[in-house]
Structure 1
Amino acid sequence: MSRSKSTKNKDMGEERVEWSDLPKELLPTIGKSLDTRIDIVRFRSVCNSWRSSIPSNKSPRFPLKFPNPYSPTSSTQAQAPAYLCESTIYRLQRLNPSTSSNKAWLVKVEQYSNSGGKLCVFDPISNRLSRYPNKTLNLLDFRVIELTKAYMLRYKVRAGSTTSTNEIEQVLSVRDSSILRVTKVVMFPNSPWTNVNDSAVFVIFGAGTLGFAKSGAKSLTVVDDNNVEYDDIIVYKGQFYVIDTLGNVSWIDNSSLKLVPFLPPLCGLGGQKHLVESCGALYVVDRYFNKKRRRVEHTNRHFRDSDGPKVVDFKVYKLNEEWGRWELEKSLGDRAFVLGNDCCLSISAEEFTGYKRNCIYFNNQNETHVFNLEDSSFGDLQDIHPSWLCSNLRDLQDIHPSWLRSNLL
């Protein structure tokens, strides 16, 4: 949203009009149609009349207390409730690039309690925390666009004992830990104008169990207890859709929590299926492994992926809504699919640094790889684009989490 005047050609009988001179009765309608926090901040910063036309964003502050999907196995776990954490994936682009390339970066940001409430930058594929020097960035030099949100379940554990009465040292002695074997969390509606009590949250955990909860719930409700293993869930056109390991796609009736078959089963024989929305269409990405993927129920120990299955192939299917069927796709065109640990999305490869068209970026055995759909080849990011990691780390060294907190909150 620009603060400048709108330009008109006086020779054509048109006048020059200030943004602030727009009819005041239109401002609330325009403001309430914005569905990202950053757009609301920009709208309210145009002038005093625009600021007063809509209230400040009152969306819930994460993390939110959430029922743990697993029954406590010890008194310690019983005292450690789960928390729903929200992160946002942004498109970040320089307005005045210092080089000939003006491609954007894909960055993931979360208000991380371990950093004292500051917003921290994560890798959108591996979800690893990125650490940058304590420097600042002028947001006016960048164009920032919110692409999507992602959710995770965590709980707080004490990293070590402390007898200090210092508040900072006490906070630092507690760290966030992801709840094991929670493979997907989605929340809807997630608009800044939505009261958290009106939002529904679905969780896939354990051996592919599908659960449901609302804010304030004491426990998680199992949606379908018929020994069906679910792989992924997505919000598509305002409706929850879920896919199981056999390729059955269903939409969920929020009021009754009933699963309604959406289409004939997908004839995909892969071991793990992902739901992706791209350019308004729904896709299924079928991931193939060299051996059967084994799901393990929740335990207290950490898991090692060194002996786990390796990815050997991908197949992509697109929903043909006119004919009501899934069609095998040979090309994604200019798009690249990013299969993150907690969020899948589609981006224009031409717009982002380090991403190539017709490719799938994914994490396997704690390493990030890329699959080229054109020739079915695999590669590490360094092999496909050697400067990808270096260029991002070098350019992003000037970014400190406070620039996002001061401008987006």
Structure 2
Amino acid sequence: MTTWSDLPPEILNTISRNLDFHEDYINFLSVCTSWKLSSKTTIIRHLPSRYPMLMLAENSNTKEDDETDGKRRRFCLLSNGGIIRTLPLPEAHRQRCVSSHGWLLTTGEPEFYTKLVNPLSNTRTDLPKLYMFDEEVYFNLDEWMYYGFCMRKCLLTSPDPSLPEFRVIIVWGKTIGFCRPGDVAWGRIDGWEGNVFDMTFHRMQKRLYVVAALGKIYECDVANDVSCPLTLSRVTTFPRQEFGCLSVPWAYLVEWGCDNLLMIVREREGFKKTDDGYGWYGPYRTNGFRCFVFGLDDGKWSETVSLGDTAVFIGFNSTFVVCGGGCVKPNCIYFTDDLYEPYRGLPEGGGGDVGIYDMFDGRIETIFGSEELGFRGAPPLWLQTCSVPVIKGVK
């Protein structure tokens, strides 16, 4: 009788070629020595995870002349106890990065080119330069670290750039821009008041929704409207007094079923700014979240104390929801530090406000020893890897 370790290489290769996810390949390689030796382990670097990955900052200890290591990035997987993947990612070297649907949107001085980069397949799509944001872009290199962090959000209407409804939407400073691959310039989206906190594309409603200061929510048809600039119209304003909220210091927005939006209010404490401007920030941390549901059909607000069997991921990425189970804890909010000023202002940098918030009891725990991972140089961000197309036949 043939044992598992005696299977011929052609059968093992057939099995390995049909594995779609990183975790399955890890398990495949762990069966026995013969299985590991028979497989092309390079394939594993190009497989998405079933679960989100956390992309870390560039290694601050990298020597200037170590170009190879300086153009690689570390990714922490929620699976397998938070194992580290290291991928070559020269497109993100010394670039500002935000993410959506598993893609990175990158830009950097001095030309402010932008491009979409898939860190798993190494594919890229060039986008228009950011010259449209004349009042936001400065070319003083001494100020680059500050103004570079003005690109705070990126949202893709689909994970597939080849679809006709695909749009790239960004928040740069106080400007919202949008484009499609092949466009020569960014279009503008106007019509809101105050700072923009977050935005989401509701797949069922086929509309863009934006949450701004004071919990004001706006919408527009970004997929079909051909006018430029596009104009947002106000849908609702969060009734703060009704729910005992003195303010809406920071909020996130995500599609919540067919007819609803979920707005997540983040409560921080200890965040300070001295009187001499943006130079120094005191210690700060997240102490809780409150979640509110807005019905697009009836226009009513309600507070929810449970996310059910799902988890929400927030940070320098478009907000997204993942079904709980496996290594993703249901009824939790996975958050990273998305206050960009402290990365410039604090001597030790920003990035320490990272963790997992349990909606059931309000406890916050670290993300696989996150305090030791060193996020201080640049913001970590989540990659929604399960939405990345599976790359087969990689050699």
TM (norm. structure 1) is 0.49
Output the amino acid matched with 2:250. Q
Contact 2:311 2:323 in 1 (8 A): yes
Partner secondary structure for residue 357 of structure 1:
coil
Matched, 1:361 2:334: yes
- Equivalent positions of 1:178-193 (< 5 A) are 179-188=148-157, 190-193=159-162
CA spacing shift, 1:214–1:381, aligned 2, 3 Å: closer
CA spacing shift, 1:239–1:304, aligned 2, 3 Å: farther
CA spacing shift, 1:333–1:133, aligned 2, 3 Å: closer
Contact 2:192 2:212 in 1 (8 A): no
Partner of 1:212: 178
**Count of residues in correspondence between the two structures:** 253
- Counterpart CA distance in 2 for 1:124 and 1:263 is 38
CA spacing shift, 1:383–1:356, aligned 2, 3 Å: farther
Matched, 1:290 2:269: yes
Matched, 1:328 2:318: no
Aligned Cα root-mean-square deviation (Å): 4.6
Partner of 1:371: 357
- Equivalent positions of 1:334-353 (< 5 A) are 334-351=309-326, 353=327
CA spacing shift, 1:219–1:193, aligned 2, 3 Å: closer
Contact 2:199 2:254 in 1 (8 A): no
Output the amino acid matched with 2:303. L
Contact 1:92 1:107 in 2 (8 A): no
- Counterpart CA distance in 2 for 1:215 and 1:305 is 39
Output the amino acid matched with 1:318. V
CA spacing shift, 1:133–1:209, aligned 2, 3 Å: closer
> Shift of residue 291 of structure 1?
5.3
- From 189, 199, 207, the equivalent of 1:239 is 207
Output the amino acid matched with 2:202. Y
Identity of aligned pairs, percent?
18
- Equivalent positions of 1:379-390 (< 5 A) are 379-382=365-368
- From 250, 256, 267, the equivalent of 1:272 is 250
CA spacing shift, 1:210–1:193, aligned 2, 3 Å: closer
Matched, 1:202 2:180: no
> Shift of residue 189 of structure 1?
5.0
Partner of 1:315: 290
- Counterpart CA distance in 2 for 1:331 and 1:148 is 24
Q: Which moved more, 1:375-384 or 1:248-257?
A: 375-384
- Counterpart CA distance in 1 for 2:77 and 2:191 is 32
> Shift of residue 229 of structure 1?
1.0
For structure 2, which runs of at least 5 residues remain unmatched after alignment?
1-16, 32-48, 59-66, 89-99, 112-144, 338-349, 373-389
Larger radius of gyration: 1
Output the amino acid matched with 2:324. A
Partner secondary structure for residue 325 of structure 2:
helix
CA spacing shift, 1:277–1:151, aligned 2, 3 Å: farther
Contact 1:318 1:327 in 2 (8 A): yes
Output the amino acid matched with 1:205. W
Output the amino acid matched with 1:285. I
> Shift of residue 293 of structure 1?
8.0
- Counterpart CA distance in 2 for 1:106 and 1:225 is 33
Partner of 1:106: 52
- Counterpart CA distance in 2 for 1:209 and 1:124 is 33
Output the amino acid matched with 1:275. L
Partner secondary structure for residue 343 of structure 1:
strand
1:52-84 CA distance string (max 9 Å, x none): xxxxxxxxxxxxxxxxxxxxxxxxxxxxxxxxx
CA spacing shift, 1:407–1:326, aligned 2, 3 Å: farther
Partner secondary structure for residue 270 of structure 1:
coil
CA spacing shift, 1:370–1:107, aligned 2, 3 Å: closer
CA spacing shift, 1:92–1:245, aligned 2, 3 Å: farther
- Equivalent positions of 1:52-63 (< 5 A) are none
CA spacing shift, 1:215–1:152, aligned 2, 3 Å: same
Partner secondary structure for residue 246 of structure 1:
helix
CA spacing shift, 1:249–1:215, aligned 2, 3 Å: same
Partner of 2:38: none
> Shift of residue 290 of structure 1?
1.7
- From 94, 103, 106, the equivalent of 1:153 is 106
> Shift of residue 122 of structure 1?
3.3
- Counterpart CA distance in 1 for 2:239 and 2:21 is 32
Contact 1:289 1:311 in 2 (8 A): yes
1:116-140 CA distance string (max 9 Å, x none): 9x99763489xxx955499xxxxxx
Output the amino acid matched with 1:360. I
Output the amino acid matched with 2:198. D
CA spacing shift, 1:123–1:182, aligned 2, 3 Å: farther
TM (norm. structure 2) is 0.51
Partner of 1:223: 189
CA spacing shift, 1:336–1:190, aligned 2, 3 Å: closer
CA spacing shift, 1:192–1:285, aligned 2, 3 Å: same
Q: Which moved more, 1:277-286 or 1:362-371?
A: 277-286
Matched, 1:94 2:24: yes
